[in-house]
Structure 1
Amino acid sequence: MYELRGVTKRYQRGKETVDALRGVDLTVEDGGRLVIQGPTGGGKSTLLQMLGGLDRPTSGSVHLDGTDLAALSEAKLTKVRSEKIGFVFQSFNLIPTLTAQENVETALVPLGLKVAERRERAAEALKSVGLGERLTHLPSEMSGGQQQRVAIARALVKNPKVLLADEPTGNLDESMRDEIMDVLETQWKEHGLTFIMVTHDSAIARKAPRLATIRKGLISVSENVSAA
C-alpha cells in the first residue's frame, strides 16, 4: 500500500521557486488502480516520480508497504525499484540495438538471475502481451503499439508489486491506445498489481475506478463507482 503524507516538491528555476507538489496526501490500496490527470505542469509526472522513487520530496513521506522511500539510501532505493516497481513510459525507452527479448531481459539483470532463466522469463513475458512471435525483432522492426507491448513486458517480467505508467498511450493512435489499455488492464487484473497511470486522455480517465486530479500542485481524488 502507498501512503503519502504532506508531500511537497520545490524546484529552483533561476531565481524563481516552483512548487510542483504542495502538501499531497494520498493512499493507494494494494491492487488498486488510480489514474492521475491534470494540466501540463500541474504536477502529474512529479507525483509519479515520487511514487516510483525516481525523485525525493522536499518534505513529507512516501511510504510503500510501510517503508518511507524518501528516507532510503540510494542503494536501498535502487533495490526497491528493481524488485517491486515496474515502469512504462510514453517514449517506450527501448534499446534500439537489442531484440525484444533482450530488451525485456535488461530488467532482470539487477536481480542476478542466470542467463537461461532471464531468457525464459523474458520470452514468457512477451507471450503474455501477445508478442510470442516477435522475440528476435528489433524495435525498428515493430510498430509503436508493439514497442509499447515490449515495454510493458519489460516492466512486468520481474513480477513487481506496482506498475507505474506515464502517458503510456501518448504516442499512439486511438486504435493502438485501446489495445494497449486492454493489455495494461488485463495484466493489472491477472497479477493483482497496484496500477497507477498518468494520462492526458479524458477517455481513459472516465473509465478509471479512481481518479486523482492535480492542478498547481494540489490534488483531489474522486471515486467512479460505475467504472468497470
Structure 2
Amino acid sequence: MYELRNVTKRYTRGKESIDALDGVDLTIADGDRLVIQGPTGGGKSTLLQMLGALDRPTAGEVVLDGTDLARLSETRLTKVRSENIGFVFQSFNLIPTLTAQENVETALVPLGVKPKERRERAAEALTSVGLGERLGHLPSEMSGGQQQRVAIARALVKQPKVLLADEPTGNLDESMRDEIMDVLERMWKELGLTFIMVTHDSAIAKKAPRLATIRKGRISVKENAGA
C-alpha cells in the first residue's frame, strides 16, 4: 500500500519557486487501478516519479508498505525500483540494437538472475503479451504497438508489485491504444498488480475504477462508478 502524506515537491528557477506538488495526501491500496489526469505542468509526472522512487519530495512522506521512500539511501531506492516497481513510458525506451528478448532480459540483470533463467522468463513474458513469435526481432522490425508490448513485458518480467505507466498509449493510434490497454488491464487482473497510470486520454480515464485529477499541485480523487 502507498500512503502519501502532505507531499510537496518544490522546484526553484532563479528567484522563482514552483510547487509541482502542494501538500498531496493519497492512499493507494494493494491491487488498485488508479488513473491520473490533469493539465500539462499540473504535477502528474512529478507524482509518478514520487511513487516510482525516482525523485524525493521536498517535504512530506511517500510510504510504500510501511517504508518511507524519502528516507532511503540511493542504494536502497535502486533496490526497491529493481525488485518492486515496473515502469512503462510513452517512448518505449527500448535499446535499438537488442532483440525483443534481450530488451526484456535487461530488467533481470540487476536482480542477479542467471542467463538461462533470464532467457526463459523473458520468452514467457513476451508470450504473455502476444509476442511469442517475435523474440528475435529488433525494435525497428516491430510496430509501435509491438514495441510497447515489449516494454510492458520488460516491466513485468521481474514480477513487480507495482506497475507505473506514464502516457503508455500517447504515441499510438486509437486501435493500438485499445490493444495496449487490453494488455495492461489483463496483466493487472491476472497478476494482482497495483496499477497507476498517467494519461491525457479521457476515454481511458472513464474506464478506471479510481480517477485522480491533479491541478497546480493539488489532487482530488473520485471513485469511477461507470468503470
Cα distance in structure 2, aligned partners of 1:161 and 1:225:
25
Quote the RMSD (CA, aligned, Å). Answer: 0.5
**Residue pairs, 1:1-228, within 5 angstroms:** 1-227=1-227
Deviation at 1:14, TM superposition (A): 2.1
What is the percentage of aligned positions where both structures have the same residue? 87
Deviation at 1:113, TM superposition (A): 0.9
Cα distance in structure 2, aligned partners of 1:203 and 1:225:
14
Cα distance in structure 2, aligned partners of 1:130 and 1:158:
18
Cα distance in structure 2, aligned partners of 1:95 and 1:14:
36
Deviation at 1:16, TM superposition (A): 1.1
Cα distance in structure 1, aligned partners of 2:93 and 2:15:
33
SS in structure 1 at match of 2:146: helix
8 Å CA contact 2:206–2:226 kept in 1: the answer is: no
Q: Which runs of 5+ in 2 are unaligned?
A: none
SS in structure 2 at match of 1:140: helix
Cα distance in structure 1, aligned partners of 2:114 and 2:90:
30
Corresponding letter in the other structure for 2:18: V
Q: How many residues align?
A: 227
Cα distance in structure 2, aligned partners of 1:13 and 1:209:
37
Q: Which runs of 5+ in 1 are unaligned?
A: none
8 Å CA contact 2:82–2:111 kept in 1: the answer is: yes
Deviation at 1:60, TM superposition (A): 0.3
Cα distance in structure 2, aligned partners of 1:117 and 1:60:
40
Cα distance in structure 1, aligned partners of 2:191 and 2:113:
21
Cα distance in structure 1, aligned partners of 2:131 and 2:16:
47
Cα distance in structure 2, aligned partners of 1:87 and 1:217:
22
TM-score (norm. length: structure 2): 0.99
Cα distance in structure 1, aligned partners of 2:216 and 2:156:
32
> Could you report, residue by residue, the CA deviation over 1:151-187 in whole angstroms, capped at 9, with x for unpaired residues?
0000000000000000000000000000000000000
SS in structure 2 at match of 1:118: helix
> Could you report, residue by residue, the CA deviation over 1:26-80 in whole angstroms, capped at 9, with x for unpaired residues?
0000000000000000000000000000000000000110011111000000000
Cα distance in structure 1, aligned partners of 2:14 and 2:106:
37
SS in structure 1 at match of 2:153: helix
Deviation at 1:3, TM superposition (A): 0.4
After superposing on structure 2, the runs of 4+ consecutive aligned residues of structure 1 that deviate more than 4 Å are none
Corresponding letter in the other structure for 2:190: E
